[in-house]
Chain A
Amino acid sequence: MNLLEVRDVVKHFPINEGAVLRRTVGQVHAVDGVSLTLAPGETLGLVGETGCGKSTLARCIAGLHPVTSGTVTFDGQDITNLSRSAMRPFRRDIQVMFQDPYGSLNPRRRVGSIIADPLVIHGVGTARERRRAVSGLMERVGLNPEHYNRFPAEFSGGQRQRIGVARALALKPRLIICDEPVSALDVSIQAQILNLLKDLQDDFGLTYLFIAHDLSVVRHVSDRIAVMYLGRVAELAEADELYEHPRHPYADALLSATAVADPDAADRRSRVILTGDVPSPIDPPSGCRFHPRCPRAGEICSVQEPALEGTAHLTACHFPIGPTDLPGPPEPADREEPAASDTSGGPARRAGDSANGRGTE
């Protein structure tokens, strides 16, 4: 059974105007009908660019935002828009780790008591037991337990993120939502934290929802990956499958734009350069939200929103890239490479990709 099921979740934020008589003049369509599942012990990566709704979705799942519609089911129980008290037992099972190791720790409190907070709030153990538990947690995440009484400012960015990990682990959660957990860290420190998260997953059977904008990192940690664009899932597939055979033109463009630390791969790559910017989520385009920027868009794309379809590899596209290319998609992408062999968009792209150093794992 799935540990987490998200069905058709919609989250709109009203835009209000007027100082006295507040009236709603529009909606920000932050998340607009997203469905996902997470199996126990799995890591699902959630990628997308600024404003695609990935963090909002995470907050909806954690119960930090009420959802506008749709359902969130955790371990078979509907936890959608529960009251604070009804949500409480689930908060032990679902923990969130944030990006900013500077902003998410209270600078005036000692790290031992910061890590103990969840235990205190949920009334776990006596003071002595909690202290012992915190020391154990600190040791487990690679902090010196003797630093129990230090303040966050005495720790480096990497160590602070370890404090965040320890705090998230305190209640022995089953699901940890990691929202850009390594984005603020230098690469050598980032690798330490990524390895730590992996070890903890193996030891405690944790399930991760891993949000990041760095696609190389997401591929490294995830079993499956969902690519979001303007509040919707464009594509969802196994990590390697997605990177090697992206089917949605947006996923294709995003992956081809990812900077990879391998010169040969960088030289061989055929980049899909998107034109323009991401449209506003206040008034998203009709039909497929990606159609105004899509190199493959046809007439239907501006009219009908494509459903997320497929069994293992799901794509929301009328003209997906790949072997089942529908006849007559329009002119191929604006690529840097000569387009001679590129009439279908699909095969040439994959040829470039397998030579891309991506197939190294």
Chain B
Amino acid sequence: MSLLEVKDLTVGFPTADGLVQAVRGLSFSVEPGRTLAIVGESGSGKTVSTQAILGLLPEADISGSALFEGADLLRLDEERLRQIRGSEISVIFQDPLTSLHPLYKVGWQITELIHVHDAGVSRAQARRRAVELLGLVGIPRPDRRVDDYPHQFSGGMRQRAMIAMALALNPKLVVADEPTTALDATVQAQILDLITRLQREFDIALLLITHDLGVVAGVADEVMVMYAGLPVERADRRTIYYRPHHPYTKGLLESIPGSTGVRKGRLRPIPGQPPSMIAVPPGCAFHPRCRYAMPVCAAELPPLARVTGDGDHASACWLPHEAVGLGEEAEAVRLRASGGPA
């Protein structure tokens, strides 16, 4: 059984200009011990969808369901949800400076978390556990640093402390929202290594939210690409990078220097910009930017459907199933199917 199963999630924000349809019908599942990466650019709905699931968007209009071990997170009362969040599901945010309270010692914050969720643990035990956790995530001399304030930690150490907090209650699922985006390359590598090592060690499922296809390439089991509030493609990691079907996924890969989509020379950027989420284009939201757009694309929304003969690979695009992959051959198939460049 899936650990987390999200079905038909929609999230809308009423604004003076109209309803912002941030997430427009999202379904996915996370298996125990596995890593699902949700990839998308600003405004694709990747962060909003996980925040909705975790009950962090009280002002939004939310529909759908999110079953975590059989219980629908979207319908639980606040108290029960709070218990699950923190103990069974924990979150690592992008910016550790704003997620740690600046006025309390790092160790105190971890101790308090353990103590609040499990009254059977004494403060002294909780503190010992905090020291142990800080050591586990690679903070040097944890018995001393436990009494430091967050500002005494570097950015990388703060993110380590956040990871220690996320692990404190032995969660089954960790949601990591851009966990390394604010960090330098060498620190990012340290943190990614730490997250994946601990994930394996404690058999935790990881839901990784990121815009960075470089990070995903080394970490994810499965990848879901989002565009304008909907998933456009979902497959295992290698399929996404080497055999993309959806033109948006392909466009992303061809925009990133050094990626599988840019073998040499020039980048092939996606023209135009993402749509306004108040006035989402009809049909496939990507069609105004798509090189292969056909008349059907503006009329009908393509479902996220199996790409025949390619395992669990699913794509939401009207192009035929053969139109997978990068390079000349796949390009010819796409152009033939769509009747030439749009």
Binding site for B on A (CB under 8 A): 49-50, 156, 158-159, 186-192, 194-195, 198, 213, 215-217, 219-221, 253-254, 256-267, 269, 271, 273-274, 276-277, 336, 357-358, 360-361
**Contact of A188 with B269 in the complex, beta carbons under 8 Å:** yes
Q: Which residues of B contact A194 (CB under 8 A)?
A: 257, 267
Q: Which of B140, B258, B267 has the most C-beta atoms of chain A within 10 angstroms of its own C-beta?
A: B258
Inter-chain CA distance A215–B189, complex, in Å, is 13
Chain B minimum-CB-distance residue to A259: B214
Q: Which of A195, A221, A264 contacts B269 (CB 8 A)?
A: A195
CB pair B267–A263 under 8 Å, yes or no, is: no
CB-CB under 8 A from B214, the residues of chain A are: 216, 258-261
Contact of B186 (CB < 8 Å), options: A156, A190, A195, A257 = A257
Residues of B within 8 A of A276 (CB): 140
Give chain B's interface residues, CB within 8 Å of chain A.
41-42, 140, 154, 156-157, 184-190, 192-193, 211-218, 237-238, 241-242, 251-271, 273-274
Partner of B260, one of A191, A261, A271, A361: A261
B255 contacts across to A, CB distance below 8 A: 187-188, 190-191
User: How many Å from the CB of B267 to the closest CB on chain A?
Assistant: 4
**Which of chain B's residues has its CB closest to A159's CB?**
B273
Asked if residues B241 and A195 are in contact (CB atoms below 8 Å), the reply is no
A261 touches B269 (CB 8 A): no
Min distance, Cβ B118 to any Cβ of chain A, angstroms:
33
Apart from A50-B184, A187-B213, A191-B256, what 4 extra A-B contacts exist at CB < 8 Å? A187-B255, A189-B269, A198-B266, A271-B189
Q: Cα distance A158–B241 when bound, in Å?
A: 25
Closest to A196 in B: B269
Determine whether the beta carbon of B154 is less than 8 Å from that of A220: no
Cα–Cα, bound, A220→B255 (Å) = 11
Can you spell out 5 A-B residue pairs with CB atoms less than 8 angstroms apart?
A: A49-B185, A194-B267, A259-B189, A259-B217, A266-B218
Q: Kindly state the separation between the CA atoms of A335 and B261 in the bound complex, as whole angstroms.
A: 29
* Residue in contact with A188 in the complex, picked from B188, B193, B270, CB distance below 8 Å: B270
Which of A187, A192, A219 has most B Cβ within 10 Å?
A187
Contact A258 B185, beta carbon cutoff 8 Å = yes
- List B contacts of A261 (CB < 8 A): 213-214, 216-217, 241, 253, 256, 258-261
The 6 lowest CB-CB distance pairs between A and B, nearest first, are: A259-B214, A220-B257, A261-B259, A266-B218, A191-B269, A191-B255
Closest approach, in angstroms, between the C-beta of A316 and any C-beta of chain B?
18
A103 CB to closest chain B CB, in angstroms? 17
CB nearest neighbor in A for B269: A191
| Nearest chain B residue, comparing its CB with the CB of A243 | B258
Q: How far is the CB of B137 from chain A (nearest CB, A)?
A: 14
Smallest Cβ-Cβ distance to A218: which chain B residue: B257
Contact B264 A257 (CB under 8 A): no
Residues of A within 8 A of B42 (CB): 186
Given contacts A187-B41, A187-B255, A190-B255, whether A257 and B217 have CB atoms under 8 Å apart is no
A277 x B237 contact (CB < 8 A):
no
A186 to B267 CA separation, bound complex (whole angstroms)? 14
Q: How far is the CA of A186 from the CA of B248 in the complex (A)?
A: 13
Name A216's contact: one of B184, B256, B264, B266 (CB within 8 Å).
B256
Residues in chain A near residue B154, CB distance under 8 A: 277
A274 to B186, CA, bound (A): 7
A253 to B257 Cα, complex, angstroms = 20
Verify A49–B186 contact, CB threshold 8 A.
yes
Q: Are B41 and A186 in contact (CB under 8 A)?
A: yes
CB-CB under 8 A for A263 and B189, given A191-B255, A360-B263: no
Asked whether, in the complex, the Cβ of B258 is within 8 Å of the Cβ of A260, the reply is yes
Find out whether the CB atom of B259 lies under 8 angstroms from the CB atom of A215: no
- Known contacts A156-B273, A273-B193, A274-B186; decide if A187 and B218 are in contact (CB<8 Å): no
Partner of B241, one of A187, A221, A262, A269: A262
Q: Are A213 and B184 in contact (CB under 8 A)?
A: yes
**A357: B residues at CB distance < 8 A:** 258, 260
Interface hub of B214, B257, B268 (most chain A Cβ within 10 A): B257
Among the interface residues B193, B237, B256, B264, which one has the most CB atoms of the partner chain A within 10 A? B256
| Contact of A188 with B252 in the complex, beta carbons under 8 Å | yes
CA distance A319 to B156 in the complex (A): 28
- The reply to whether A259 and B263 contact each other, CB–CB distance below 8 Å, is no
Q: Which of A259, A266, A269, A336 contacts B188 (CB 8 A)?
A: A259
Tell me the complex Cα distance, A357–B214, Å.
Answer: 13
Say whether, besides A277-B154, A361-B264, A259 and B41 are in contact (CB < 8 Å).
no
Q: Bound state CA distance, A261 and B215, in angstroms?
A: 7
Question: Is B273 in contact with A267, judged by CB distance below 8 angstroms?
Answer: no
> B258: which A residues are within 8 A, CB to CB?
216, 219-220, 260-262, 357-358, 360
Contact A191 B184 (CB under 8 A): no
Question: With A and B bound together, what is the CA distance between A191 and B267 in angstroms?
Answer: 6
Q: Nearest chain B CB to A107's CB is how many angstroms away?
A: 19
| Bound Cα distance A274, B156 (Å) | 12
Distance in angstroms from B237 CB to nearest chain A CB is 5
**Chain B residues whose C-beta falls within 8 Å of the C-beta of A215 in the assembled complex:** 185
Contact of A187 among B193, B252, B273 (CB under 8 A): B252
The interface residues of chain A lying within 8 Å CB-to-CB of B256 are 187, 191, 216, 261
Measured between alpha carbons, how far is A263 from B190 in the docked complex, in Å?
18
Give every chain A residue within 8 A of B41 (Cβ-Cβ).
186-188
Would A262 and B260 count as touching, CB distance under 8 A? Answer: yes
B254 → A minimal CB distance (Å): 8
| Set of chain B residues within 8 Å of A188, measured between Cβ atoms | 41, 251-252, 255, 269-270
In the docked arrangement, what's the CA distance between A274 and B193, Å? 12
Chain B residues whose CB sits within 8 angstroms of the CB of A262 once the complex forms = 217, 241, 258-260
- A-side contacts of B213, CB under 8 Å: 187, 261
* Structural contact, A257 and B189, CB atoms closer than 8 A: yes
Q: Which residues of A contact B266 (CB under 8 A)?
A: 195, 198
Contacts of A195 in B (CB 8 A): 266-267, 269
CB-defined contacts of A156 to chain B, threshold 8 Å: 273
Minimal Cβ-Cβ distance residue in B for A198: B266
User: How many Å from the CB of A181 to the closest CB on chain B?
Assistant: 14
A277 interface neighbour in B156, B252, B257, B259, Cβ under 8 Å: B156
| A198–B266 alpha-carbon span in the complex (Å) | 9
A217 to B185, CA, bound (A): 13
CA distance A215 to B273 in the complex (A): 25
Which residues on B sit within 8 Å (CB–CB) of A358? Answer: 258
- For A259, the chain B residues whose CB sits under 8 A away are 185, 188-189, 192, 212, 214-215, 217-218
